[in-house]
Amino acid sequence: MSTATAKKKQNGRAVRPLKIRKDDMVEVIAGKDRGKRGKVMHTLPRENRVVVEGINLVTRHQKPRSTSRATPQTQTGRVVKPAPLHISKVMLVCPRCSQRTRIAISFTSDGKRVRTCKKCKEYIDSV
Ligand SMILES: [Zn+2]
């Protein structure tokens, strides 16, 4: 029954599914990127972190490596890319009312688990 909550435990704590998922729109509420919005590129549920497009950018100084199999995507020099930021620093932006919101979990009539916007009470996930 409870397949979602019966995840493997790590450090004695269960890894719960994040309320924020890939391709969600989020708004940053803390740190230097406060107020900015971006799309979630991927999530790190074990660390409670998300990577958001264009947010928390860091510059990596990538040294050219003398490997024989250098892929065309390998960039050298200054590479700007988003770093993961903690889930508590972002809030989901509701796709229906476009406000940043908290999330309620509710169930449809056929028992499907969906996320609901606490502001407009609309389903965030497609049913
Ligand atoms: Zn809403």
Do the Cβ atoms of 25 and 16 come closer than 8 Å? no
Strands 103-107 and 113-117: antiparallel
Do the Cβ atoms of 10 and 27 come closer than 8 Å? no
How much distance in Å is there from the Cα of 44 to the middle of ligand 1?
25
How much distance in Å is there from the Cα of 14 to the middle of ligand 1?
29
pLDDT for position 10: 57
Q: Where does the pLDDT of residue 126 fall: very low under 50, low under 70, confident under 90, or very high at 90 and above? A: confident
Strands 37-44 and 49-52: antiparallel
15: exposed, middle or buried (Cβ count in 10 Å: 0-12, 13-18, 19+): middle
Average pLDDT over residues 24-39: 96
How much distance in Å is there from the Cα of 79 to the middle of ligand 1?
36
Q: Which residues contact 34 (CB under 8 A, 6 or more apart)?
A: 28
Measured distance between the N- and C-terminal CA atoms of the chain, rounded to whole angstroms: 20
Do the Cβ atoms of 91 and 100 come closer than 8 Å? yes
Rounded to whole angstroms, how far apart are CA atoms 57 and 73? Answer: 19
pLDDT for position 91: 97
Does an H or E element contain 37, and which? Answer: strand 37-44
How much distance in Å is there from the Cα of 98 to the middle of ligand 1?
6
Range(s) of the chain covered by CATH 2.30.30.30: 13-63+74-93
Q: What is the mean pLDDT of the chain?
A: 86
pLDDT for position 60: 87
For 90-122, the pLDDT digits (tens) are 999 999 999 999 999 999 999 999 999 999 999
Do the Cβ atoms of 76 and 66 come closer than 8 Å? no
How much distance in Å is there from the Cα of 8 to the middle of ligand 1?
32
pLDDT for position 73: 59
Rounded to whole angstroms, how far apart are CA atoms 78 and 80? Answer: 6
Pick the CATH number of 13-63+74-93 from 3.30.70.360, 3.60.20.10, 3.10.50.30, 2.30.30.30: 2.30.30.30
For residue 64, is pLDDT > 90?
no
How much distance in Å is there from the Cα of 49 to the middle of ligand 1?
23
pLDDT for position 106: 92
Average pLDDT over residues 18-45: 96
How much distance in Å is there from the Cα of 50 to the middle of ligand 1?
21
